[in-house]
Structure 1
């Protein structure tokens, strides 16, 4: 519980302050955070990197970020963002970006360093809960790239006008070799990215924002099994616990934000293709969400779905209420129901069982091994194929 107090102190500070100008027009400090309390009714962990289970969790949605922006030599700038993400401890935060930029003209900026992948509508402010109506972004869409949010490479940002009302931004990007780690609790992934490239085009006016993005990457996923029935089978069979697979992955994402009257409507849809030694797979994900502003109150609802035929197939429904206490402080009360769409297949212990938006499948087995008859499998479930998740969050910026 002691971890909570620094966050509460910063929330109180945030309610009275905005970004801090350390050196006028040259050095600026800002920050953001979310303090969340959440609980599921299913012991199977829900939502990658948040691991929400059937015990009250004070850290599953809690984030804290600091950003330092500098400007020097007229047209040069630098930015560093450090974030304690939900999966991090406060003593070991992550550098989410650290880059140097050059404003070559009024319309063109070049950047190099660690940069955020401009893939979805909220990619640039993924951890800034104050920036979107719901407490957490839909896992079906925002975890489609296996939790990899940044790349190390170069990008350009070209701004242009379309008529008198519309403005546009074109961002091509290229990422070099990098390695990302992902803990799926029963599996540990070491993702070795050979290259990462793509583009994003955003066109907007006062009420409508549209975005199309494309990502193409080649990678090797080294999966080390650390628990569960497959781990037991590997141990009993004397097979290596780490398996390496090469993948080619492409993802096309379309997004829209539309505000009309008191309504705020968000929608994103993604289509992906994966090629590996096991063949080719296709995925489709999407969500539609809306909030209605009534003074400082915003009731909202969101439906998200993974249309894939694989283990991730699922659907989630969210309803919540947001209260904007101040311009930079808000409170979310939220309920989510999520359910698997995939079919349980006990005929093959190596076949991926449906997990939907859970970190791993609720279907698992223990292994008995007889040197004559071979292994036997005793199937069981960690929990149901669905979950009800209740959450309370306080967001702030300064």
Structure 2
């Protein structure tokens, strides 16, 4: 209940101070926040999307997210940051500590230690901030490919280098220590006892484009099995803007699946219509088309109206569902309608 009270206070502050992007508690401490909620409904009884489980009954909280972030300038070059998030799968009384780390910058290098965000995808750093991306939710073909895991406990080092005016390269290796990761697939809870996560990402950022590539290896046991397995994950994403147009595409590949999407967005005035096409192969087999429009009511509040069609490539395959639709005697195809609102402060 305490977290819900903090949410109410933060929302009141946001409404009373519409021009403030964050709240300065002191000269070196800032509080900021973000949130999303939606009305969503499918035409299929089978729960759709990990951690959201949208069905054919109108859902008012399947996409609800709220987060608070505290940033502290400790001394010159040393900062601390913490982020608490009520994710879609969490109760208001039990939010998740998404990140909590110390960061030190020296010249072109940055070192972080603590709980950090997994840097596999284009939107990884702001995955829970619906205001930061064009869709009602990131394309699930790619962003559900690692079962919704978004953070690790460990260390990272980043090297930032300006290749030329307006072109910056970032190379960042990272290492995650042992941790138990859990995810619920309907009534089934999966437990992954991760021995380590180790990876590297490379970012190339220009004036109107960004290319992001990532690699991660995880060594783990899926309880109760005693067998230890390794999984190598490769990702590649790119975004490009030209005038009112924006294009985004990402691919994720590992030994059990391959997933990708491509999206096109056009912005005029405060409206941004978009269309996205995505596919999943091997362990999940589906194709999906999403059309929608985003409306920026203010610089910090946006709304999305979205219609999504997902088609199964193989009858009975889980696809983007939480479980096989055969368990519900349902079709393997599904249509989804979403109306969402996002905000930041």
Is the 1:82–1:96 contact (alpha carbons within 8 Å) kept by the matching residues of 2? yes
Q: What does 1:235-314 correspond to in 2, within 5 Å?
A: 243=225, 245-273=227-255, 282-308=256-282, 310=283, 312-314=284-286
Matched residue SS, 1:141: helix
**Pick from 23, 26, 30: which aligns with 1:23?**
26
Alpha-carbon distance in 1 for matches of 2:18, 2:187:
41
Matched residue SS, 2:131: helix
| Deviation (angstroms), 1:147 | 1.4
Show the counterpart of 1:86. 88
Show the counterpart of 1:335. 307
Show the counterpart of 2:344. 397
Show the counterpart of 2:335. 388
Show the counterpart of 1:323. 295
Alpha-carbon distance in 1 for matches of 2:334, 2:52:
15
Show the counterpart of 1:362. 325
Which deviates the most, 326-335 or 139-148? 139-148
Alpha-carbon distance in 2 for matches of 1:284, 1:116:
22
Matched residue SS, 2:288: strand
Structure 1 stretches of 4+ with a deviation exceeding 2 A read 5-17, 242-247
Q: What does 1:348-359 correspond to in 2, within 5 Å?
A: 354-359=317-322
| Deviation (angstroms), 1:137 | 0.6
Alpha-carbon distance in 1 for matches of 2:62, 2:278:
20
Alpha-carbon distance in 1 for matches of 2:308, 2:17:
28
| Deviation (angstroms), 1:187 | 1.5
| Deviation (angstroms), 1:341 | 1.6
Matched residue SS, 1:130: helix
Alpha-carbon distance in 2 for matches of 1:321, 1:8:
25
| Deviation (angstroms), 1:384 | 1.2
Is the 1:14–1:328 contact (alpha carbons within 8 Å) kept by the matching residues of 2? no
Q: What does 1:42-191 correspond to in 2, within 5 Å?
A: 42-103=44-105, 105-191=106-192
Is the 2:14–2:20 contact (alpha carbons within 8 Å) kept by the matching residues of 1? no
What is the count of residue pairs matched by the alignment?
340
Matched residue SS, 1:307: strand
Alpha-carbon distance in 2 for matches of 1:143, 1:116:
15
| Deviation (angstroms), 1:8 | 7.2
Matched residue SS, 1:100: strand
Structure 2, gaps ≥5 residues long: none
Matched residue SS, 2:297: strand
Is the 1:35–1:394 contact (alpha carbons within 8 Å) kept by the matching residues of 2? yes
Q: TM-score, normalised by structure 1?
A: 0.82
Q: TM-score, normalised by structure 2?
A: 0.94
Structure 1, gaps ≥5 residues long: 223-241, 274-281, 345-353, 365-380
Is the 2:315–2:332 contact (alpha carbons within 8 Å) kept by the matching residues of 1? no
Is the 1:186–1:360 contact (alpha carbons within 8 Å) kept by the matching residues of 2? no
Show the counterpart of 2:209. 208
CA offsets per residue over residues 273-325 of structure 1, 9 Å max, x none?
Answer: 2xxxxxxxx421100001100111000010111122x3x11111110010001
Matched residue SS, 2:125: helix
